[in-house]
Structure 1
Amino acid sequence: MAKVRLSTEEIMKIGFFEKIANVPIIDCILNDERVAFIVKEGDVGAAIGKGGENVKKAEEKFGKKVDIIEYSDDWRKFIRNIFAPIQLEDVWVKRVGKDVVAFIRINPRVRRAVFGEKGKNLERALQILKRHTKITKIKVIIDNQKFKRKKARKPVNEEQQQEQAEAKQEVKNE
């Protein structure tokens, strides 16, 4: 994980939330109407608290909605956690030129929830991913049932097979 620079406001919010939830906070992302706390894998239940009490206390204190996001070294799982409870149809990560792109396929019914007002949810997701992974872009694919993602084509020859294996390894090693 990269070092994250926090503002004074973020540090104060982390301090308050760590006290009431009694779990270490990895990161805090603020925007006008929301505060998102990133917690270690397995800490999400404790962070939320019994009946959501920790989240409710924090929302009263901050006057904003509070989201708890569970971190994962598995980027695909982390992306799903960022968008939870929204069901993403599929998630994959691929190098495209200089960029590492997260592709998320969604049902048209959850489009508004994924994008948020004026794309704010997508913007926040990308901000989180840039801080904790090497992902630089998110591409959303609206899944109209008629057009299912085709299986990756099998390489025709050994050279193509080798290129595909190297591309996968390159993204994994970063």
Structure 2
Amino acid sequence: MTVRLSDEALQLVSLFEETTDATVRDCVIDEEFDRIIFLVKPGEMGQAIGSGGEYVAAVEAEIGKPIKLVEDADTAADFVANALAPAAVYNVTISENDDRMAYVEVAQEDRGVAIGADGRNIEAARTLAQRHYDIDGIELT
């Protein structure tokens, strides 16, 4: 799927990449939770974060909003698991019915982490999964 970014999102991607030297594959301006979500190329999450979180902190200070980072993946199941990190995801099953759904087995003690405060983590995962893998919804099992 091709994702089109707004001018504002492109500027944020440029700032993030210049600060971190990590490759950003998508940027979502999440107005509901007043944050920016960056999708980072696989294998570059450490580079995106920086030692002790220095790069993320620098970009957050520059833009004045919190940042959520998600590592891209080659499969829809791995992508959904990454989007719900740091929750312990045991298995992801993607239904191929009319409505493509991701059913995610999460450790019971990590359900709250997967959902996030006010549902912010699972909503970020749903948004990105829709944009990149045409997944209509994510349900925790």
For the aligned pair, the TM-score class normalised by the smaller chain equals: 0.7 to 0.9
- The yes-or-no answer on 1:22 pairing with 2:21 is yes
Query: Structure 2 CA distance, aligned partners of 1:13 and 1:38?
Result: 12
Would you say the 8 A contact 2:71–2:79 is kept in 1?
yes
RMSD: 1.6
SS of residue paired to 1:89: strand
Query: Structure 2 CA distance, aligned partners of 1:113 and 1:63?
Result: 24
Q: Which has the higher contact order (CA 8 A, sep 6+)?
A: 2
Greater shift in the superposed pair: 12-21 or 32-41: 32-41
Unaligned runs of 5+ in 1: 142-174
Query: Structure 2 CA distance, aligned partners of 1:20 and 1:117?
Result: 28
User: What TM-score results when the alignment is normalised by the length of structure 2?
Assistant: 0.88
Equivalenced residues, count: 139
User: What TM-score results when the alignment is normalised by the length of structure 1?
Assistant: 0.72
Unaligned runs of 5+ in 2: none
Counterpart amino acid of residue 33 in structure 1: D
- The superposition leaves residues 132-172 of structure 1 with CA deviations (integer Å, 9 ceiling, x where unpaired) of 1121121211xxxxxxxxxxxxxxxxxxxxxxxxxxxxxxx
- Residue 94 of structure 1 deviates from its aligned partner by 1.6
Equivalence for 1:5: 4
Structure 1 runs of 4+ with >6 Å offset: none
- Residue 40 of structure 1 deviates from its aligned partner by 1.3
- Residue 9 of structure 1 deviates from its aligned partner by 2.0
Which structure's CA Rg is the greater one?
A: 1
Equivalence for 2:83: 82
Query: Structure 2 CA distance, aligned partners of 1:34 and 1:17?
Result: 14
